[in-house]
């Protein structure tokens, strides 16, 4: 091996490396839409982005899956090509986040509600069908449950579902669910647990007198092994349910929809988790999904306006749109047209209402 050639090779690669790192530091304008946010909205937003990218002369938007909280953090960091144009969220923006945004110059934010997502409690298809009430869910999964006397709290003593409610089967409570970082967990706790929690009169009264205590009671999930944090991967939960006929899993409606021959959803308060029941608002554990747009970016970033139009079009989010095929539950027609009008006019979120 010639030694001179070696030296040259080593140094030229070093020079190339250096040139690369300095050349890219000067990042100019961005010609694609940049989206961050919730992993629950991700499967829907990506479909819209892809259709938009293929059907228009613009590039396909880039969508990062960061979680709702992480998305707001990036979104609120500032205005400019380095910051995202849109953040997806499986919950509404919080007042504190609006403040952070405002502090960094992100003042005009347009809220776009895109539809609903049901959260289901499912078990293996061959197991017995389950009929739960929200009270049952709370009693089975809360860390502390109300005792015999009003105002008394005891560590959750229930071992089997029959202990919770005699009409339920006498099998051990074993529920696989998402970890606390997940938006699905937040929504489940707020809708199912809290819904069950308010059926206890003295706890409901706490909501007014001692909200912190109320939240601690209603929102804390038991940690003694009956509730298993199964990670963010819902496919994995479906597989585990197949393997264990006595286990129940908590995940989004789209996973139930895709695995209809493997798992089935429990009815909650007498309502089955079907597309129609969720769309009618009958199914109690469903939540709205959103995305938020920076108004300042709309006419600066190429394709942003087009992406908004695609998302709010009937062929996307309509009753028979392609998003409903993916498990997004559409809003009623009047609400859709109201939101679409809002998006056309780019009416920003008013800070007072939040």
Partner 1 sequence: MTKELTNKDKVEAGLPRRRRKETLFRATGMIATAIGIAFLAVFFATLIGKGASAFVQTYMRLDVELTAEQIAPGGELDLAYADFDGLVRTALRKEFPEVSGRAERRELYRLLSIGAGYQIRDLVAENVDLIGTTQTLWLPTSATVDMLMKGNIDASLDASLRPLSDQQIGWINSLQRAGRLDKRFNAALFTNGDSREPELAGIKGAMMGSFFMLVVTIALSFPIGVAAAIYLEEFAPKNRWSDLVEVNINNLAAVPSIVFGLLGLAVFINWMSLPRSAPLVGGLVLALLTLPVIIIASRAAIKAVPPSIREAAMGLGASRMQVVFHHVMPLAMPGMLTGAIIGMSRALGESAPLLMIGMIAFIVDVPGGFTDPSTALPVQIYLWADSPERAFAERTSAAIIVLLAFLVLMNLAAVIVRRRMEQKW
Least spacing, CB of residue 65 vs partner 1, in Å: 6
Out of 90, 123, 198, 259, which residue is the one contacting partner 1 (CB under 8 A)? 259
Least spacing, CB of residue 52 vs partner 1, in Å: 10
- State which residue, 126 or 345, has the beta carbon closest to partner 1: 126
**Residue 327 binds to partner 1 (criterion: CB under 8 A):** yes
**Residue 320 binds to partner 1 (criterion: CB under 8 A):** yes
**Residue 188 binds to partner 1 (criterion: CB under 8 A):** no
- State which residue, 3 or 350, has the beta carbon closest to partner 1: 3
**Residue 6 binds to partner 1 (criterion: CB under 8 A):** yes
- State which residue, 35 or 171, has the beta carbon closest to partner 1: 35
Least spacing, CB of residue 22 vs partner 1, in Å: 10
Question: Residue 18, Cα to own-chain centre: how many angstroms?
Answer: 41
Which residue, 195, 190, 194, is CA-closest to 90?
A: 190
Six-digit token string for 213: 């205590």
- State which residue, 232 or 314, has the beta carbon closest to partner 1: 232
DSSP per position, 66-135: --HHHHHHHHTT-SSTTS-SEEEESSPPPHHHHHHHHHTT---EEEEEEEEEEEEEEEETTSPP-EE-HH
The answer for residues whose C-beta is within 8 angstroms of residue 116's C-beta and 6 or more apart is 278, 279, 281, 286, 287, 288, 289, 328, 329, 330, 331
Per-residue binder mask for partner 1 (CB under 8 A), 49-88, x = binder: xxx-xxxxx-xx-xxxxx---------------x------
**Segment lying near partner 1 (by CB under 8 A), choices 172-180, 210-218, 251-259, 293-301:** 251-259
**Segment lying near partner 1 (by CB under 8 A), choices 6-14, 132-140, 146-154, 191-199:** 6-14
Six-digit token string for 250: 């908590």
CA–CA distance, 76 with 84 (Å, rounded to integer) = 9
Least spacing, CB of residue 28 vs partner 1, in Å: 10
Check if the beta carbon of residue 221 is closer than 8 Å to that of residue 151.
Answer: no
Q: Which of residues 118-147 bind partner 1 (CB under 8 A)?
A: 125
Please report, for residues 28, 34, 77, 284, the alpha-carbon distance to residue 25 in angstroms, rounded to integers and kept in the order given: 9, 19, 19, 50
Out of 42, 116, 188, 291, which residue is the one contacting partner 1 (CB under 8 A)? 42
Number of residues binding to partner 1, judged by CB under 8 A:
54
**Residue 31 binds to partner 1 (criterion: CB under 8 A):** no
Q: Which residues of 225-260 are buried (b: 16+ CB within 10 A; e: fewer)?
A: ebbeebebebeebbebbbeeebbbbbbbbbbbbebe
User: Which residues are bridge partners to 118 per DSSP?
Assistant: 286
Check if the beta carbon of residue 32 is closer than 8 Å to that of residue 85.
Answer: no
Rg over alpha carbons for the chain, rounded to the nearest Å, is: 24
Least spacing, CB of residue 125 vs partner 1, in Å: 8
Six-digit token string for 304: 């942003």
- State which residue, 138 or 255, has the beta carbon closest to partner 1: 255
Least spacing, CB of residue 259 vs partner 1, in Å: 7
Residues at the interface with partner 1 (CB under 8 A): 1, 3, 6-7, 10-11, 13-14, 16-17, 20-21, 24-25, 27, 32, 39, 42-43, 45-47, 49-51, 53-57, 59-60, 62-66, 82, 125, 232-235, 252, 254-255, 257-261, 320, 326-327
């Amino acid at each position: 091996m010639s030694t001179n050639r070696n030296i040259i090779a080593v140094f030229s690669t070093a020079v190339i490396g250096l040139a690369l790192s300095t050349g890219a530091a000067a990042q100019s304008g961005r010609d694609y839409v940049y989206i961050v946010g919730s992993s629950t909205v991700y499967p829907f937003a990506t479909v819209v982005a892809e259709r938009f990218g293929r059907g228009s002369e613009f590039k396909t938007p880039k969508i990062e899956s960061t979680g709702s909280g992480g998305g707001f953090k990036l979104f609120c960091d500032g205005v400019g090509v380095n910051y995202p144009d849109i953040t997806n969220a499986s919950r509404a923006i919080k007042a504190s986040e609006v403040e952070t945004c405002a502090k960094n110059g992100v003042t005009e934010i347009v809220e776009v509600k895109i539809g609903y997502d049901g959260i289901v409690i499912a078990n293996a298809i061959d197991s017995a069908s389950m009929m739960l009430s929200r009270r049952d869910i709370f009693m089975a999964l809360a860390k502390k449950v109300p005792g015999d006397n009003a105002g008394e709290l005891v560590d959750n003593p229930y071992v089997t579902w029959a202990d919770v409610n005699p009409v339920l089967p006498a099998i051990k409570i074993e529920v696989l669910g998402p970890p606390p970082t997940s938006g699905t967990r937040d929504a489940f706790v707020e809708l199912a647990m809290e819904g069950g929690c308010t059926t206890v009169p003295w706890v409901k009264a706490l909501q007014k007198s001692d909200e912190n205590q109320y939240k601690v009671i209603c929102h804390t999930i038991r940690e003694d092994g009956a509730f298993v944090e199964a990670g963010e991967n819902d496919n994995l939960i479906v597989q585990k349910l197949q393997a264990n006929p006595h286990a129940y899993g908590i995940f989004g409606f789209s996973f139930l929809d895709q695995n209809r021959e493997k798992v089935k959803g429990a009815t909650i308060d007498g309502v089955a988790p079907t597309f129609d029941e969720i769309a009618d608002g009958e199914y109690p554990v469903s939540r709205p999904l959103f995305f938020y747009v920076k108004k300042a970016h709309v006419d600066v970033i190429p394709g942003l306006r087009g992406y908004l139009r695609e998302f709010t079009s009937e062929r996307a989010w309509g009753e028979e749109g392609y998003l409903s095929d993916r498990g997004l539950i559409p809003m009623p027609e009047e609400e859709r047209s109201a939101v679409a009008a809002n998006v056309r006019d780019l009416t920003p979120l008013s800070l007072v209402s939040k």
